[in-house]
C-alpha cells in the first residue's frame, strides 16, 4: 500500500524519458513491430508509465505498457517486478500477464475485479502455487514502491513473517529515528502477538503449506480488462506465505475490496486451523 507521504511529491524520474521510444526498448519488442507513438498512461509515485502505440508484423494493433525507473535502485525495482510477474503468470496464465517492465498494453477499468469471480480465481492460484522446496519467503528482495521487502527462506512461517516485519521496523527507525513507544509495540509484536497467532498454525500436528501470494493485493493493484472483463493484477511483491496473508489489505475498511471478498474467498479456500484465530490473524496481516 502506498505511503501517503509520497502523494504530493514530484515523481523522481524525468518525464522526458517517456516522450520518445528508446532504441533499447524497440530492440526488445517482436521483429516487425511498427511504432506509432508514445503517451503517458497509468500512474505511479516513483516511476514514469506510458502506453506505446504499435502494430505487429501483420498490421494488427499491439500496444505495450512501459514503466521507467532510474539509477541502481530503479534497476533493482524493475528487475524484481519482472521476476515477480513472470513467476505469477507461469502459475496461472488465465490471469493475463501485464504490467511488468514492458508488456502488452491492457485497457483497465476504473473498478476492482468482480467479487463474484476474483476471490475464486485467487483461491485457485493459491492452491496451484506450491513452494518446490517447501520454504516460506522469497529468494530475492522485492520492492513495495521504493521500499525493499525481504522475507528470508525458512521452513517456518512464523520465523519468515517475523523477520520480514522486523526489517520493516528497522527501515522505519532509520527514516524517523528511535522512538520509545514504537520500540514497545515492536517488542510486543515480536515476543507475544506473532507467536500467539502464528505458532498454532504449525503446532499440535498442524502443517502449513507455503503458497505463492501476490503480496500487496489492495484495490490499487487489481483491476479488470475493459475488453474481456477478466481480472488483472500487477505491481506484485510476492513471497511464499500463509495463504491468508494475501487478504491482509482486505481487512482495512478504507479499501474497496471489502469483507465480502474475504467471505467469498473462504468459500473456495477453507480457513486455517485454529479457525477461532482467523480474524485476529487478518488484523495482524493488515499491518
Asked, as a colleague might, if the bond just before 68 is cis with ω within 30 of 0, I would say: no
DSSP line for 209-239: --EEE-S--SGGGEEEBTTT--EEE-S---E
| DSSP-H helix ranges across 109-230 | 118-128, 157-176, 180-188, 194-198
Spatial separation of the C-alpha atoms in residues 149 and 166, rounded to whole Å: 10
pLDDT at residue 140, as a whole number: 87
pLDDT at residue 110, as a whole number: 82
Residue 253, all three cell numbers: 475498511
Q: What is the DSSP letter of 29?
A: S
pTM: 0.69
Phi then psi dihedrals of residue 59, to 5 deg? 85, 5
Spatial separation of the C-alpha atoms in residues 18 and 14, rounded to whole Å: 8
Going residue by residue through the chain, which has 287 residues, state the pLDDT in tens, using 9 for 90 and above. 444 444 456 776 778 878 888 888 898 889 999 999 998 887 676 778 888 999 999 999 999 888 887 767 667 776 777 777 677 777 766 654 433 345 567 788 889 999 999 999 999 999 998 888 999 999 988 877 778 889 999 999 999 999 999 999 999 999 899 999 999 999 999 999 999 999 999 999 999 999 999 999 999 899 998 888 889 888 888 999 999 999 999 999 999 999 999 999 999 999 999 999 999 999 999 99
pLDDT at residue 216, as a whole number: 93
Yes or no: is domain 118-285 CATH 3.60.40.10? no
pLDDT at residue 13, as a whole number: 74
Amino acid at each position: 500500500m502506498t505511503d501517503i507521504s509520497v502523494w504530493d511529491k514530484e515523481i523522481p524520474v524525468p518525464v522526458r524519458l517517456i516522450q520518445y521510444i528508446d532504441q533499447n526498448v524497440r530492440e526488445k519488442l517482436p521483429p516487425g513491430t511498427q511504432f506509432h507513438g508514445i503517451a503517458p498512461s497509468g500512474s505511479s509515485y516513483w516511476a514514469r508509465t506510458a502506453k506505446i502505440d504499435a502494430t505487429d508484423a501483420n498490421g494488427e494493433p499491439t500496444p505495450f505498457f512501459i514503466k521507467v525507473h532510474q539509477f541502481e535502485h530503479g534497476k533493482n525495482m524493475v528487475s524484481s517486478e519482472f521476476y515477480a510477474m513472470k513467476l505469477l503468470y507461469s502459475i496461472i496464465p488465465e490471469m493475463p500477464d501485464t504490467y511488468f517492465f514492458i508488456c502488452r498494453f491492457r485497457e483497465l477499468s476504473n473498478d476492482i475485479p468482480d467479487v463474484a469471480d476474483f476471490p475464486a480465481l485467487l483461491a485457485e492460484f493459491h492452491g496451484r502455487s506450491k513452494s518446490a522446496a517447501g520454504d516460506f519467503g522469497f529468494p530475492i528482495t522485492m520492492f513495495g514502491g521504493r521500499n525493499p521487502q525481504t522475507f528470508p527462506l525458512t521452513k517456518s512461517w512464523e520465523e519468515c513473517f517475523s523477520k520480514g516485519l522486523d526489517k520493516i521496523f528497522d527501515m522505519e527507525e532509520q527514516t524517523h529515528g528511535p522512538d520509545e513507544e514504537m520500540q514497545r509495540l515492536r517488542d510486543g509484536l515480536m515476543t507475544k502477538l506473532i507467536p500467539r497467532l502464528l505458532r498454532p498454525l504449525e503446532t499440535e500436528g498442524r502443517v502449513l503449506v507455503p503458497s505463492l501470494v501476490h503480496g500487496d493485493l489492495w484495490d490499487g493493484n487489481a483491476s479488470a480488462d475493459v475488453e474481456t472483463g477478466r481480472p488483472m493484477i500487477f505491481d506484485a511483491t510476492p513471497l511464499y506465505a500463509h495463504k491468508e496473508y494475501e487478504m491482509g489489505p482486505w481487512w482495512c475498511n478504507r479499501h474497496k475490496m471489502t469483507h465480502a471478498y474475504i467471505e467469498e474467498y473462504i468459500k473456495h479456500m477453507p480457513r486455517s486451523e485454529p479457525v477461532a484465530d482467523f480474524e485476529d490473524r487478518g488484523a495482524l496481516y493488515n499491518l
